[in-house]
Structure 1
Amino acid sequence: TAGTTTSRGSSVLCLSPVPPQASCVQHRLVVRDASSLQILQLYSCVDQIQYIEWSSDSLFILCAMYKRGIVQVWSLEQSEWHCKIDEGSAGLVASCWSPDGRHILNTTEFHLRITVWSLCTKSVSYIKYPKACQQGVAFTKDGRYMAVAERRDCKDFISIFVCRNWQLLRHFDTETQDLFGIEWAPNGCVLAAWDSCLEYKVLLYSLDGRLLSSYRAYEWPLGIKSIAWSPSSQFLAIGSFDEKVRILNHVTWKKITELEHPAVITSKNTIVYKEVEKSPTLDPERLSFPPTRALASSLFSTQSKYDICQVPVSLHYIKPVADKPNPKVGVGMLAFSADNCFLATKNDNIPNAVWIWDIRKLKLAVVLEQLYTVQGFQWDPCQPRLAVCTGSSRVYLWSPAGCVVVKVPGEGDFQIMSLSWHFSGDSMLLLSKDHFCVCYLEREEVK
C-alpha cells in the first residue's frame, strides 16, 4: 500500500464512483475528496443518519432517518439546494435511488407500499404490496427496468416497471411458496427468482414474464442460501445449505458442475495458503529503557504471513447446532471476479477459509485459511484480485501471482469488518465498527 488514512467516529460510509466520498457522524454528513480526504462539504440533518447513498451521477446524496420517517437530499453542485421527504405516519424502513439519480424510492413500514418521489417534477407514484424479503427490488444494469417482488392474496407475484415513466410493463405470478429474492442478470435479459430456504427452487424469467426454466437440486433439506450472476451473464452460481455450489449455464439453464467444500483438501492441484502469526524478533542492542514509543509498539505486536501447506490439509470445521435457527452451515458468500475467470466462496461451517475456483477449468484453484473468521471479501473491479477481511487489523490480497498480508498502520486496534473497492481499483475502504480507513494501492508501471 502506498498509504492509509484513518478517521474516527464514522458509522456509515459509501464510496462514490467519482472523486468525492461521504460519511456520516450522528446527524452530520461529511463529504471528502477521495484522493486526499480533504473535507469538501458539511451538512447537518434533522436527526441521526441511519443510511446514506450517492445518486448514480454523484451529484446528490440521500440521508435516511428511519426513526423519523424522513429522507433529506443534498446537492454537491448547489450547496444552498436541499430536499426533505417526510413519509409521515406511514413510516420508513428503506430508501434508495433509482438508476437515473433523480427519483427516490421509499418503502413504508409493514411494506404497505413503495413511494417513488421525483426530484425534477415533484410528482409521486405508488407501488402497492411490495414483499418484505431479502431482495425485493432489482434494477437492470442499464437502469431501464425495475422488478418488484409482491405478495397478494397469499401468493407471490413479480411486477416489472419501465423506469423512464414508472409504467407497469409486466405483472405475473411465480411458482414459489415464499419468494425470497430476485436479481437481474447483468445483461438485463433474465430475471432470477428464488424461494426461501425451506424450498429449493430457482426460477428464471424473461423480460416479458415468460418462465424460461426452473431448477431444483433436491427437495426436503434446507435449500438455497446465496446466489450470484457472473459478469458475462453466462453462469448463475447457487450456494446451498448442503455445502455445495451449483453452476447453471445460460444456454439450457441446466447444471454444468457441482463445487464441493470438504473439510480436508486432498487435491495436489490446489494451493493452500495458511495464515500464520509470529512475534517479531528484536535486536538486543536496540533495546532501551524506557523504551521508545515505536519500540514499545513492536514489542507487543505480532506479524502475519502466508505459508503454503502440503496436502492433505485439514481445515477448521465447526459442527452446526441442529436445534437452533439459522444454522452456520452452507455456502453463504459468492462472488465472481470481473473477468469471469474466478469464483470466490465461503462455506459457513468452515468459517476461516476462502475458496477460489478457476471457472475456466471448473476446478478448485486456491484455498486461503485465515486465523480468524472471514467477515467479507470483494473482487477488484478491474483485475482478478481479491481482498479479504477477518475482523483483524489486516487486509489480505490474493491474485494469480500469490498472496500478501497488509497490516493497517495506526494507533489502537483497528478491526476491519467490511471493505469496498473504488471503481478504479486504486483504493479501498476498510471499515470497522466506528472507524474507517482509506487504503491506496500502487500500480506497477508498464515498461
Structure 2
Amino acid sequence: MDFTEIYKQTASLVAFSPGTHFLLTAVQDRLVVRRSDSFQISRTWLVDTTPPHHRRHHLLLLVACAPPENAWITHAGWSCDSEYVLGACAKRGVVAVFKLRDEDWSARIEAGAEGLVKAEWAPDGRSVLCFSEWGLRVTIWSLVSGTATYIQYPVHPDRGYAFRRDARYFVLAERHKSKDTLGVYDAHASFRLVRHFPSPPRPSPPSRSRPRGTTSPYGRARSRRRPLGTFSPEPDPGFGIRAVAWHPSGLLLAIAGADDKIHILESLTWGPVATLELPTRIPAGVTDKDDLARTERVARSDARPGLPLLRTHHPPHTLPLAPPPHDKQAPQLAFNTSGTLLLARPAAAPTALLLYVFPGGGEDTGSPRLRSVLLHARPVAAARWNPVRAGSLAACCGVPSVYLWSDEWVADDGDGVAEEVAECVGVPAQKFETRDVRWAPDGKGLVLLDRDTFCCAFEVEEDGQVGEGGS
C-alpha cells in the first residue's frame, strides 16, 4: 500500500466525497477540501459560530486569536451529489452549508433555545436534519425552499432513525407521553406523517431500516398497527439486545444479545433459524490467524499486498474469553456487501474477529458456519467491510498499523484458486496510532484516523500505479 502524509483533523471528521474525487476534513473551526489524487487543498471555509451582533468585532480578532474549543466543528459531511458540504458546531448551535463550485454561496442555520446535538444531510442532498438537545425535536431544513419541518420528541439522536434505501420514507423512534412509538414520514411530501406504530413496552432498540425498504425491526409500514414479531434472547441475562444487523437482501436479521450468542431471524415468521454461539475452542476446518505481534514486532512499513504477516494455527485452538464490562464497547455485527459473510466482534472476546459464511455465493453450506477467526494482540478498535469488494476487510487495534483480510488472493505459483490471506501493514510514521479505519466509496483507499491526525492508504495496482479517487 502507498501512504499519504500525516494531516491534521478534528473530532475524526474526515470523509471522501461520494465520487471519491475530494476529501473533506474539519480542522478546528475550518472545513478543508482536498483533491484525492494529489491531496492539494481545493477549498477552505471558516465556520463562524459567533452571534450576529458580535460578528463584526469577532472578525477583527480572527487573525490574532485561536478559536476556543467550544467553537470547533463537531459534525461535517457531503451532500449525496458532492455539490454541498456541511459543517456544524453543536456547542454553539450553528450549522454552515457551503457550495463546492460557488465560493460566494453559503447558508447558515442557527438553533434556538432548544440547542443542537447533531446535524447531518438527508439522502436527497438538499435537506439538513438537526437534532435538538433533551430530545425535544428534529428539524428538517430545506435548502431549496428555506422552510423547516419539525418532528417532536425523538428518542435516540445517534441511532434511533433511518431512511429507506430509496430515501422515500423516514422512520424515527419517538416518545410521546412516556410511551415509545415509531413514526414513519414521507420524505417526498415535506416529511408528512404516514403512520405511528406503538412499540413493545421495552426500551427502544436501535432502529434499522430494512435494505429493501418494507420493514424495520419494529414492524411493516404497510401492515396493520401491530408488530410482525418480537424476539428476546432466552434466558434473558438482563442486558437485552446489544447489536442488530440486516442482511443485504432484507430476508435475515442478525441479533447479538448479552448472552454472547448471535441469533439469526428470517423475515417470513420472524423466528430464529440459527443460533451462532461464541466458541471457546476453534474447531477443525476453521482458519485461525493469530497476530504475530504477540511475540514479535512485525508492523512493517514495507509490507506488500499478498504478504501474509499473520500466523495460521492448526486447530483446535483456544479462543481467549473474558467477561466484558457492560459499560464498555458494544459488540459489532456487519454483513459484507454480498451478504455471504458476517463479521462479529464479540464483547467477551474483544481481540477476536469472527467471520461466518452464509448460504449463497460460491460456498452454499445450507446454514451459517464459522469460517475464520482473526486474533489480535490488542482489542479491535474498528473493523470495516470493503463497500465494493465482498471479500475484503480492514481493521485496526490502536497501533501504528492496519490489518487487512481478503479471500481474493491468488498465489503466483498456484493453480489460480483464490484463498485467504491476512496481513499487517505498518503506517510509515513516527507517532501514529490507528484508532479508526474507513473505506473510500470506491473501495480502493482507506482513511486511517488517530486522535488528532489522519492519513490515507491506497492499494498499489499491478501496473505500479496507485489507486486514486474517481469523479
Normalising by the smaller structure, the TM-score range is 0.7 to 0.9
Q: Which residue of 1 aligns with 2:4?
A: 4
- The answer to whether the aligner puts 1:184 opposite 2:172 as a matched pair is no
Report which of the two has the higher share of strand: 1
Question: Counterpart of 1:4 in structure 2: which amino acid?
Answer: T
Supply the distance in 2 between the matched residues of 1:185 and 1:443 (Cα, whole angstroms). 36
Shift of 1:96: 1.4
Q: Secondary structure at the match of 2:113?
A: helix
Question: Counterpart of 1:215 in structure 2: which amino acid?
Answer: F
Supply the distance in 2 between the matched residues of 1:81 and 1:242 (Cα, whole angstroms). 53
Q: Which residue of 2 aligns with 1:318?
A: 322
Shift of 1:444: 5.3
Q: Secondary structure at the match of 2:378?
A: coil
Supply the distance in 2 between the matched residues of 1:327 and 1:311 (Cα, whole angstroms). 30
Alignment of 1:37-76 (within 5 A): 37-46=39-48, 47-76=71-100
Shift of 1:413: 2.5
Residue by residue over 1:156-193, the C-alpha shift from the partner in whole angstroms, topping out at 9 and shown as x without a partner, is 11111110121111112111322132111111011114
Which among 143, 149, 168 is matched to residue 125 of structure 1?
149
Label 1:9 to 1:136 Cα distance change in 2 as closer, same or farther (>3 A). closer
Alignment of 1:238-257 (within 5 A): 238-257=255-274
Shift of 1:240: 1.0
Question: Counterpart of 1:247 in structure 2: which amino acid?
Answer: I
Alignment of 1:276-291 (within 5 A): 276-277=292-293
Q: Which moved more, 1:173-182 or 1:19-28?
A: 173-182
Q: Which residue of 1 aligns with 2:54?
A: none
CA contact (8 A) 1:49 1:64 kept: yes
Q: Which residue of 1 aligns with 2:232?
A: 216
Alignment of 1:274-423 (within 5 A): 274-277=290-293, 305-320=309-324, 326=327, 332-360=331-359, 361=365, 362-383=368-389, 384-400=391-407, 401-423=419-441
Which among 425, 429, 438 is matched to residue 447 of structure 2?
429
Supply the distance in 1 between the matched residues of 2:94 and 2:8 (Cα, whole angstroms). 26
Alignment of 1:105-116 (within 5 A): 105-116=129-140
Q: Which residue of 1 aligns with 2:107?
A: 83
Supply the distance in 1 between the matched residues of 2:297 and 2:314 (Cα, whole angstroms). 25
Question: Counterpart of 1:252 in structure 2: which amino acid?
Answer: T
Label 1:275 to 1:262 Cα distance change in 2 as closer, same or farther (>3 A). same
Alignment of 1:187-202 (within 5 A): 187-193=212-218
TM normalised by structure 2 equals: 0.82
Q: Which residue of 1 aligns with 2:65?
A: none
CA RMSD of aligned residues (A): 2.3
CA contact (8 A) 2:396 2:403 kept: yes
Supply the distance in 1 between the matched residues of 2:101 and 2:431 (Cα, whole angstroms). 38
Q: Which moved more, 1:94-103 or 1:4-13?
A: 4-13
Question: Counterpart of 2:241 in structure 1: which amino acid?
Answer: I
Q: Percent identity between the aligned chains?
A: 30
Which among 225, 237, 251 is matched to residue 234 of structure 1?
251
Label 1:124 to 1:327 Cα distance change in 2 as closer, same or farther (>3 A). closer
Alignment of 1:103-182 (within 5 A): 103-132=127-156, 134-164=158-188, 165-182=190-207
CA contact (8 A) 2:29 2:73 kept: yes
Shift of 1:134: 4.9
Where does the alignment leave 5 or more consecutive residues of structure 1 unmatched?
A: 194-203, 282-293
CA contact (8 A) 2:198 2:226 kept: no
- The answer to whether the aligner puts 1:95 opposite 2:108 as a matched pair is no
CA contact (8 A) 1:5 1:439 kept: no
Paired residue total: 411
Residue by residue over 1:106-153, the C-alpha shift from the partner in whole angstroms, topping out at 9 and shown as x without a partner, is 111111111111111111111112113652221111111001111011
Label 1:220 to 1:334 Cα distance change in 2 as closer, same or farther (>3 A). closer
TM normalised by structure 1 equals: 0.87
Q: Which moved more, 1:255-264 or 1:2-11?
A: 2-11
Supply the distance in 1 between the matched residues of 2:112 and 2:178 (Cα, whole angstroms). 28
Q: Secondary structure at the match of 1:67?
A: coil
Shift of 1:320: 3.7
